[in-house]
DNA sequence: AGCACGCCGACT
DNA sequence: GTCGGCGTGCTC
């Protein structure tokens, strides 16, 4: 804020830097009209080009701007300002991810209607007056409203079981007076003493350590490493309680899909109230109320997906990142960040502890713990041991499925037994659709995506061929487009739809359900289906990785992994880690009730370290091996080598861009070329057909690359994306 | 990111 | 003759 008024001259224009939700490198300067007060953090409405936008008054000065260009701030919203910690957090993320601060600020301003206070609503309260005549309807209303509290007109009518005209009549006679009711809280205040969990000695020790960390107000990260059923949730609930006891807000981050009814209930069982929810499926009105009430401090605990990190907390005192290894914490588009790492940063800035929890921690968190940057708390499996599933591999070389099928006789036998016991089976296959490749048996033609050259996946339910990279889809033809032969197209390999077909063939009377992310009806439908399964409304579930998370299925005693090798073959240095995490989670779906339960992994590589780790339960050996393997390969345990990945619609196109870049920007020498099948889907989703993905072990390396790239011209500028796989060590 | 301006292909 | 595609440039 400049206010260098000098006597005797016309008052100079007061101005303020404002961060607008746009990819500008610095805040813009706006005129502050006379009589208006703004401070850093104030949320304001400002003119920007042809429209008006919400922006945040910022701390840093801007470059001098021609005073004639300055436009005045239109309005200061009646809203608690964004606190200084959050503003530093925005600057930090912008600098770290090499994105524009305005774009980071945009993530804070995602609830436009919440900048104005929630309106008070009209309510009715009983007066001493008596009605002229008494009727049974009127009597019911009076009885209902006898509590002396304010009721809404329709709420009262509904509660009394009468039409609202009855209430209107009583109001007109003065039996009710109109009062204004403040906005209703979205959730009740949690009570830390509501129902303390019974903790084992192990759990209690970890809970005590977390409570001490919260009480001492010191920053620091604790990795809770505990197998499914070891009580991680109960333990970190005690950390949440500690933060609440100290009058601080708490944030629990969960992968989107894990935010289920079941989790909220579990929280309610401990605290007597639900946490506020925050995820992409929240209705707009609720979204605004949650945002506003977080800003005002009336919401004390939020359970949310990664974007909850950008809620306007005023007194945040703890962040818990559950399932910290989950790739869903990564945002790849726009501002690329990993919410788990940004949570660590937020804790550091705010001077409060952060808890990471997982049954299968990421390698980078394990290394950070091993090297002493994070504290590590291992929860033993003692609680869970009794109900741990019996895990075995099925060697597909020795016991292959019947011709044309994908389920081995051993798995089918166990499914039959499970059905006979009226328990549930889960078949896991991480591939949507019917078949991943379609070819012509006559001429060998393979169906390829015209836009990005990867194989088209047949979706038989929809009668379409779909590209899983760019979303291209076409009707499945009856004749080969190459040789014109009819009825000789053959589907190669299994997808969940095809496995479902096989299951129905074997068990026609079983209730079978397929769950994958292309399920019609979106997240809401999915949550309903998951709850239906938990309630026993299906016998056999066939699902992609979304069945791995979030929900407990109390009657699910058999888990079959249709293709445990899937995902090990690609060149990703994280392939083994990811597969281990995924298979651990899926097999963990079996047996959480103390019933005898079984997990069967169909594989061609029963001796692969991932299979051995899953079957033996020896995760420690697996982690040490993975860490050593990366060191041996010259890869850092975190992220990938610094460098640039050029990705385009086709590999040839990418090679062309890479060639041009090497010439234009010799400093950016370490250029890798990826075809569409190897590059993240997000890269190909945009309008531009190529992207540069800058991966870095060190941020300084990437800055060098990016400077060189920007020098290569504006066409490149629009295509640069910075990877989220940046060295997490530099956070601390 | 939005939005306007501006230049080349198929159509009420 | 126009409608409309997306490439380019600008926003205090």
Q: Residue A651: which CATH number?
A: 3.30.70.600
Residues A548 and A621 in one domain: yes
Helix (H) or strand (E) holding A413: helix A409-420
Give all strands (DSSP E) within A189-262, no chain letters. Answer: 220-226, 249-253
Using the 3D structure, point to which of A465, A493, A521 is the last residue of a domain: A493
Residues A577 and A543 in one domain: yes
| Opening angle at CA A273, ends A271 and A274, nearest 5 | 110
Residue A251 φ/ψ, nearest 5 degrees: -125, 130
CA atom of A123 to C1′ atom of B11, Å? 59
Q: Strand A51-57 vs strand A15-19: parallel, antiparallel, or unpaired?
A: antiparallel
C-alpha to C-alpha distance for A162 and A615, rounded to whole angstroms? 63
For C7, nearest residue by CA–C1' is A715
Contact A631, A607 (CB under 8 A): no
Contact A336, A97 (CB under 8 A): yes
Nucleotides of B under 7 A from a protein CB: 1-4
A49: nt with nearest C1' to CA: C11
Residues A147 and A86 in one domain: no
The reply to whether A249 falls in a domain is yes
Domain that holds residue A257: 201-383
Residues A452 and A378 in one domain: no
Contact A601, A567 (CB under 8 A): no
The reply to whether A29 falls in a domain is yes
Using the 3D structure, point to which of A81, A109, A137 is the last residue of a domain: A109
The reply to whether A189 falls in a domain is no
The reply to whether A366 falls in a domain is yes
A102: nt with nearest C1' to CA: B1
**Within A474-569, where are the H helices?**
496-506, 522-534
C-alpha to C-alpha distance for A647 and A29, rounded to whole angstroms? 38
The reply to whether A194 falls in a domain is no
A334: nt with nearest C1' to CA: B1
For B3, nearest residue by CA–C1' is A50
Residues A319 and A304 in one domain: yes
pLDDT recorded at residue A704:
63
The residues that bridge with A542 in the sheet, in sequence order, are A427, A514
Q: Quick check: helix, strand or coil at residue A104?
A: helix
C-alpha to C-alpha distance for A729 and A698, rounded to whole angstroms? 10
CA atom of A560 to C1′ atom of B7, Å? 59
The reply to whether A5 falls in a domain is no
Helix (H) or strand (E) holding A353: strand A353-358
Work out the number of other CB atoms within 10 angstroms of the CB of residue A569. 9
All protein residues with a CB under 7 A from any atom of strand C? A 22-24, 28-31, 47-49, 62, 65, 69-71, 687, 714-715
Work out the number of other CB atoms within 10 angstroms of the CB of residue A501. 16
pLDDT recorded at residue A232:
92
| Residues in CB range of A712: below 8 A, 6 or more apart | A661, A664, A665
Averaged in consecutive runs of 10 residues, what is the pLDDT profile of chain A (732 residues)? 52 86 90 94 93 92 80 95 95 84 93 90 88 89 85 90 90 90 93 93 94 88 88 95 97 87 93 96 92 96 97 96 92 83 94 95 90 90 66 95 95 97 95 92 86 80 82 84 89 95 97 87 79 91 85 88 89 82 88 79 96 92 90 61 60 69 64 59 47 59 62 58 53 53
Contact A668, A708 (CB under 8 A): yes
All protein residues with a CB under 7 A from any atom of strand B? A 22-23, 49-51, 103, 334
Residues A427 and A565 in one domain: yes
Residues A561 and A572 in one domain: yes
Provide the residue count of chain A.
732
Of the candidates A710, A726, A729, A730, the residue with the CA atom closest to the CA atom of residue A718: A710
Residues A620 and A553 in one domain: yes
Contact A684, A647 (CB under 8 A): yes
Which CATH number fits the domain that encloses residue A595? Answer: 3.40.50.300
pLDDT recorded at residue A563:
96
Burial of A333 (0-12, 13-18, 19+ CB in 10 A): exposed
The reply to whether A713 falls in a domain is yes
Task: State the SS3 of A16-72.
Answer: EEEECCCCCCCCEEEECCCCCCCCCCCEEEEEECCEEEEEEECCCCCCCCCHHHCCE
Residues A278 and A408 in one domain: no
Burial A525-546 (b: 16+ CB within 10 A, else e): ebbebbeebbeeebbbbbbbbb
Residues A164 and A220 in one domain: no
The reply to whether A695 falls in a domain is yes
Residues A563 and A508 in one domain: yes
pLDDT recorded at residue A355:
97
Residues A42 and A175 in one domain: no
C-alpha to C-alpha distance for A38 and A74, rounded to whole angstroms? 12
CA atom of A476 to C1′ atom of B8, Å? 34
| Residues in CB range of A1: below 8 A, 6 or more apart | A14, A15, A16, A32, A38, A39
Number of domains comprising chain A: 6
């Amino acid at each position: 804020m400049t206010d260098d008024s000098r006597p005797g001259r016309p008052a100079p224009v007061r101005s303020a830097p404002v961060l607008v939700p746009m990819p500008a490198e610095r805040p813009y300067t706006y005129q502050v009209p006379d009589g208006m007060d703004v401070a850093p953090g104030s949320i304001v409405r400002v003119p920007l080009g042809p429209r008006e936008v919400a922006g945040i008054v910022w701390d840093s000065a801007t470059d001098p701007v021609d005073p004639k260009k300055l436009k005045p701030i239109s309005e200061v919203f009646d809203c608690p300002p964004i606190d200084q910690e959050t503003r530093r957090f925005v600057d930090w993320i912008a600098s770290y991810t090499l994105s524009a601060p305005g774009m980071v600020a945009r993530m804070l301003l995602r609830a436009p209607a919440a900048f104005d206070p929630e309106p008070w609503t009209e309510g009715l309260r009983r007066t001493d007056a008596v009605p002229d005549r008494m009727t049974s309807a009127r009597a019911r209303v009076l009885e209902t409203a006898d509590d002396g509290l304010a009721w809404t007109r329709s709420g009262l009518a509904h509660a009394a079981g009468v039409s609202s005209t009855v209430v209107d009549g009583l109001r007109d006679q003065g039996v009710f007076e109109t009062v204004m009711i403040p906005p209703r809280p979205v959730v009740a205040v949690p009570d830390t003493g509501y129902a303390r969990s019974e903790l084992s000695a192990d759990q209690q020790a970890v809970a005590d350590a977390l409570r001490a960390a919260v009480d001492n107000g010191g920053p620091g990260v604790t990795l809770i490493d505990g197998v499914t059923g070891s009580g991680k949730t109960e333990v970190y609930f005690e950390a949440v309680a500690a933060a609440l006891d100290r009058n601080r807000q708490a944030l629990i981050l969960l992968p989107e899909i894990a935010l289920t009814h079941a989790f909220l209930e579990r929280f309610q069982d401990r605290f007597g109230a639900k946490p506020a929810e925050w995820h992409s499926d929240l209705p707009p009105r609720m979204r605004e109320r949650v945002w506003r009430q977080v800003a005002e401090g009336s919401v004390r605990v939020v359970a949310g997906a990664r974007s909850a990190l950008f809620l306007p907390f005023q007194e945040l005192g703890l962040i818990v990142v559950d399932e910290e290894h989950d790739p869903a914490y990564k945002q790849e588009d726009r501002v690329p960040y990993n919410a788990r790492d940004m949570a660590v940063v937020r804790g550091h800035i705010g001077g409060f502890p952060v808890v990471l929890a997982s049954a299968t921690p990421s390698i980078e968190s394990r290394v950070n713990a091993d090297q002493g940057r994070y504290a590590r708390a291992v929860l033993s499996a003692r609680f869970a041991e009794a109900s741990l599933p019996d895990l075995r591999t099925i060697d597909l070389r020795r016991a292959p499925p019947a011709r044309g099928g994908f389920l081995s006789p051993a798995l089918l036998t166990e499914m039959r037994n499970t059905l006979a016991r009226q328990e549930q089976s889960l078949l896991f296959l991480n591939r949507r659709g019917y078949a991943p490749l379609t070819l012509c048996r006559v001429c060998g033609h393979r169906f390829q995506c015209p836009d990005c050259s990867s194989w088209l996946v047949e979706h038989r339910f929809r009668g379409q061929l779909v590209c899983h990279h760019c979303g291209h889809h076409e009707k499945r033809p009856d004749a080969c487009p190459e040789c014109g032969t009819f009825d000789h197209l053959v589907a190669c390999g299994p997808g969940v739809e095809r496995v479902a077909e096989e299951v129905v063939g074997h068990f026609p009377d079983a209730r079978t359900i397929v769950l994958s992310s292309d399920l019609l009806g979106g997240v809401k439908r999915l949550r309903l289906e998951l709850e239906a399964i938990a309630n026993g409304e299906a016998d056999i579930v066939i699902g992609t990785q979304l069945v791995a998370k979030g929900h407990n299925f109390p009657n699910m005693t058999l888990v079959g992994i249709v293709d445990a090798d899937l995902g090990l073959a690609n060149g990703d240095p994280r392939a083994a880690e990811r597969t281990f995490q995924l298979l651990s989670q899926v097999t963990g779906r079996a047996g959480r009730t103390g019933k005898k339960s079984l997990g069967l992994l169909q594989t061609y590589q029963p001796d692969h370290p991932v299979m051995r780790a899953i079957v033996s339960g020896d995760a420690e050996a697996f982690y040490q091996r993975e860490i050593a393997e990366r060191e041996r390969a010259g890869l850092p345990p975190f992220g990938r080598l610094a460098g640039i990945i050029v990705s385009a619609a086709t590999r040839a196109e990418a090679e062309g861009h890479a060639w041009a870049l090497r010439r234009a920007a010799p400093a950016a020498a370490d250029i890798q070329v990826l075809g569409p099948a190897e590059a993240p889907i997000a890269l190909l989703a945009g309008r531009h057909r190529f992207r540069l993905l800058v991966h870095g072990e060190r941020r300084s390396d990437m800055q060098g690359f990016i400077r060189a790239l920007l020098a290569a011209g504006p066409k490149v500028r629009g295509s640069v994306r910075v990877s989220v796989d940046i060295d997490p060590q530099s956070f601390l």
